[in-house]
Amino acid sequence: MSQQRFLTLADVAEILSISVPQARAMVRSGELPAIQVGGRGQWRVEKAKLEEYIQQGYERTQQAVREGTLA
């Protein structure tokens, strides 16, 4: 069976070690791209988008370390 393309917010929360409400807030703010599916409008995050988000976090951290602005 092939890998799933999309993750639920519960999956995202588990991967990032955050709560589901925090994952939902990231989606609603536009920080993490997602789509709504189904009649109840459940959120789904593409695995590739989550990986991009994580990579961008690493890049921001590296930049802050170089600039000496890491909090």
- 8-58 pLDDT per residue, tens: 999 999 999 999 999 999 999 999 999 999 989 899 999 999 999 999 999
60: region left, alpha or beta (phi > 0 left; psi from -120 to 50 alpha): alpha
Domain covering 6-67 in this structure, CATH number: 1.10.1660.10
Vertex 49 angle, CA 3 and 30, to 5°: 140
Per-residue model confidence (pLDDT) at position 1: 44
User: 1 or 58: which carries more pLDDT confidence?
Assistant: 58
* pTM assigned to the model: 0.85
Q: Are 20 and 43 in contact (CB under 8 A)?
A: no
Residue 7: pLDDT band by 50, 70, 90 thresholds? Answer: very high
Per-residue model confidence (pLDDT) at position 2: 59
Residue-range domain boundaries for the chain: 6-67
